[in-house]
Amino acid sequence: MPPLLLLIPHLLLIPIIFSCHVTLARHAPETTAWRSFSHLVDTERGSHVSGLSELKQYFARFGYLHMPDPKNLTDSFDDRFESAVNLYQNRLSLPVTGKLDAATLTQIMSPRCGISDFTSTPGKLHKVQHFAFFPGEPRWNQPGPFELTYAISPTATINYLSHDEVRAVFSRAFSRWAQVIPVRFFEAEDYQSANVKIGFYQGDHGDGEPFDGVLGILAHGFSPQSGRLHLDAAETWSVDFSKEKSSVAVDLESVATHEIGHVLGLAHSPVKDAVMYPSLSPRSKKFDLSMDDVQGVQMLYGSRPGFTFSELMESEKSSAGTWSYHGWWGFSRGLWLAVLGVFVKTVFL
């Protein structure tokens, strides 16, 4: 008997060991708030499909479609809506097809920030205009040493994360921005006197931007100098995915870092790797600032003394070199197929 025959039981175990990851990738959770859009896949101009009127409301909410009369929406895919789809695809760096293809609907159904993608002006002097600001480029202004305070609401909380866990997350998130701009952030003891007020809220919570339940809108941070940073309390917020097993868990640090960008004056960026890109999938993390994020915020506040872009590039290289479970599965699957190929050659040829 060829020695490789003895490997068969072990070879058969490899796909079983990694099947949990594959199942998660195949059955990624849909956004509860917008999952009804899935039946619209491949809809294009000239179609009339039930549910398009609701999708038009989504496009209007995020700045892609102007609706003079919201009560007069139809389920027709007309020229105007095609233009909105083209704009959406172009803005979020998707293939511009003008129809609701799978990639576009996947993006639409992804959980995201509640701030519109078009309450902004492109960054000046930026050769490829990616990062953007709110109209008028509002920013925080202070004489002397630039310091901003923040505080987490003692009442607008969630009961499954401790106050210390939430504080630690926001401390790290603010530190990321402080590493690149000459602004220092301090946690205030008095919530009411803080420049930035952070809390977890549900549904209509009085700021004109109601939350919509699990996934959908994750959070919103308002432009300077409002200082309001609100997170949807209906989400399953996580500070450690190894402990939080929910398929719809959302990384708190990633969302916190994004919303602080809004609080500082950055609007959404179409760069998919940027922290300021508007969406974040469940059980994923994105809190390391990209070159686009840094260039944008430094146009508002200047560069931290001593900061160099080489620091950022080294950080990005380090992040890029980290293996994920997905990368390990790809490697293992390739290894398994290679060994299987050797086995077939040896036994049957």
| Residue 212, marked binder | yes
Strands 121-122 and 132-133: antiparallel
| Residue 66: both structure tokens together | 């102007």
| Residue 230, marked binder | yes
Catalytic residue among 165, 259, 314, 316: 259
Whole-angstrom distance, CA of residue 51 vs CA of residue 39: 9
Whole-angstrom distance, CA of residue 163 vs CA of residue 154: 8
- The helix (run of H) or strand (run of E) holding residue 129 is none
| Residue 19: both structure tokens together | 């099947």
Q: Amino acid identity, residue 339?
A: V
Q: Residues 56-64: contacts with CB within 8 Å, 24+ apart? A: 56/81, 56/84, 58/34, 58/108, 59/84, 59/85, 59/88, 61/116, 62/116, 62/117, 62/118, 62/278, 63/116, 63/117, 63/118, 63/119, 64/88, 64/91, 64/117, 64/118
Q: Is there a catalytic annotation at residue 209?
A: no
| Residue 213, marked binder | yes
Closest CA to 109 of 203, 222, 28, 47: 28
| Residue 232, marked binder | yes
| Residue 288, marked binder | no
| Residue 205, marked binder | yes
Q: Which residues of 4-23 are buried (b: 16+ CB within 10 A; e: fewer)?
A: beeeeeeeeebeeebeeeee
| Residue 262, marked binder | yes
| Residue 268, marked binder | yes
| Residue 124: both structure tokens together | 């000046």
Contact 124, 295 (CB under 8 A): no
Exposed / middle / buried, residue 61 (Cβ in 10 Å: 0-12, 13-18, 19+): middle
- Annotated catalytic sites, by residue? 259
Binding site feature residues? 113, 205, 207, 212-213, 220, 230, 232, 235, 258, 262, 268, 276
Binding site feature residues for Zn(2+)? 113, 205, 207, 220, 230, 258, 262, 268, 276
Binding site feature residues for Ca(2+)? 212-213, 232, 235
